[in-house]
Structure 1
Amino acid sequence: MNKRDFIKLVNGNEYKLGVKVGSKVDLEFDLLMKYFEALGKKYNPDFFIDEMDIPVFEKLFYYFTQNKIWCSTNNININKGIMLVGGNGVGKSTILRLFTEFFGMGKLKYYSMSELGEKVSRDGLSTLDAINFSRAFVIDDVGSEKESMYFGIRTEVFNSILMKFEHKNFPAYKPDEEGLISLISNADKETTRLNPSKPARIYASTNLCLDEFEERYGKRVYSRMAGFFNILNFPTRTDKRALLANVV
């Protein structure tokens, strides 16, 4: 079978990522990290991979390559989404973009929580109807949104997003008269997590540590969030942007 190096280009430079045998690509983690560090600078010139963050990249690598054995051993559910938890400037947004785009997720829709919060305050929860909850999408900077008020009614935007996602992707079931299980939802089986070949998942980032998250949103939302996401904590909260600041 034809075997050749799997190579990608960044700014005209070649990066070997592994070996391609037929239609299958065997990626090497260390080589992919070198490529991602170069590619990340196209999104953010200050981007670099901190050695202390390698465990997070490793978990993302095996999650996106759908390595069921490794993920199961390391308490990662490949049917859930990803919530990256880390301080300002650790590179969460860039890292999510690198992995989702490289592993064939396509051009995912990216939503800023602060912008969604402002839109809900102005136009109401109908703003969220623009999100296709049957497809994977990314929410950046969860927790940055201000409290949304629409005609004096307080609305928790992140919880509303999770509830809409849950309704679309986990429709209700009930026994029918013959004791069989009947679907009682108008959810589209072709585009929801009912069909694993076309999974709907949320990828998100937050600056809040888990205690801050629970304090900000409450136990109920925290519980719902934990049910939808693999929560990956950055071991360092070092602000990489601050490290590169020109202080005179």
Structure 2
Amino acid sequence: MNTNLNYPEIISWLKTKGQELYGNHFKIHEEDYPIIYKLIAYFLKDEQVCFQFGINLNKGILLSGPIGCGKTSLMNLMKYLTPAEFKFSVKPCRDISFEFIQDGYQVIHKYSKGQLYKSEPKIYCFDDLGLENNLKYYGNECNVMAEILLSRYDLFVSHRIQTHITTNLSASEIESLYGNRVRSRIREMVNLIAFNNVTKDKRA
């Protein structure tokens, strides 16, 4: 890997930061290095390595893998590597659904175009896509995340604002939960970085 960045040193720093955030039991497993190298290259904008991995720096990241493989903690760590103009917030999809029950359709606006009356779209990582359920607001059922992702696609096309996602769903499961239109737009918006399906549950 021909690059100016010292990847082993960055991984060592991430391990220390992870222990600071999650406790001394936090580890970065060697079998996950290929995933972590790609994430580091993307978030530190290492064009050369991203080119080698076929990663498009204009798109977001979809990090997929089995439950407990470490997707959320890795994305939380990547926030500390990301240059200021690409900083993002990690937001669990389940929490967004609960916000929708309380606040209704303005929640869709909040996570796409920004707060009502102010246009200030931000970069988000929607964590655990698929864990939320279709929820009702005054009797109307709404697939909240599908609506948000369609709006985020419009932002991506018009303003190149990125969206990141973590999920344990396969592409066909995404299509079945959110529809072909959402699946197609996600494909256009993100780079897929996937853990092996047999990656062990690190919480065990």
Sort the TM-score into its range (normalised by shorter chain): 0.7 to 0.9
What are the residue-to-residue correspondences of 1:11-160 with 2, within 5 Å?
26-45=4-23, 46-105=25-84, 108-131=88-111, 132=114, 134-160=121-147
Regions of 4+ moved over 3 Å:
105-108
SS of residue paired to 2:80: helix
Distance 1:209 1:38 in 2: 32
SS of residue paired to 1:214: helix
Aligned length in residues: 191
SS of residue paired to 2:203: helix
Distance 1:167 1:212 in 2: 23
Q: What residue identity is the alignment partner of 1:213?
A: I
The answer (yes or no) to whether the contact 1:82–1:202 under 8 Å persists in 2 is yes
What is the CA-CA distance between 1:90 and the residue it aligns to? 1.4
Q: Greater Rg, structure 1 or structure 2? A: 1
Q: Is 2:199 the counterpart of 1:219?
A: no
The answer (yes or no) to whether the contact 2:14–2:77 under 8 Å persists in 1 is yes
The answer (yes or no) to whether the contact 1:88–1:237 under 8 Å persists in 2 is no
The answer (yes or no) to whether the contact 2:72–2:166 under 8 Å persists in 1 is yes
Distance 1:211 1:127 in 2: 27
When you count strand as a share of all residues, which structure comes out higher? 1
Match of 1:239 in 2: 201
Q: 1:27 to 1:71 in 2, by over 3 A?
A: closer
Gaps of 5+ in 1: 1-25, 172-191, 194-199, 243-248
In the alignment, which of 135, 146, 151 is matched to residue 164 of structure 1? Answer: 151
What is the CA-CA distance between 1:121 and the residue it aligns to? 2.9
Q: What residue identity is the alignment partner of 2:35?
A: V
SS of residue paired to 1:230: strand
Q: 1:79 to 1:31 in 2, by over 3 A?
A: same
**Alignment root-mean-square deviation, CA:** 2.1
Distance 1:141 1:62 in 2: 23
**TM-score normalised by length of structure 1:** 0.70
What are the residue-to-residue correspondences of 1:173-212 with 2, within 5 Å?
192-193=159-160, 200-212=161-173
SS of residue paired to 1:227: helix
What is the CA-CA distance between 1:205 and the residue it aligns to? 0.9
Gaps of 5+ in 2: 115-119
**TM-score normalised by length of structure 2:** 0.83
Q: What residue identity is the alignment partner of 1:238?
A: K
Deviations 1:193-212 (A, max 9, x none): 2xxxxxx2112211223332
When you count helix as a share of all residues, which structure comes out higher? 2
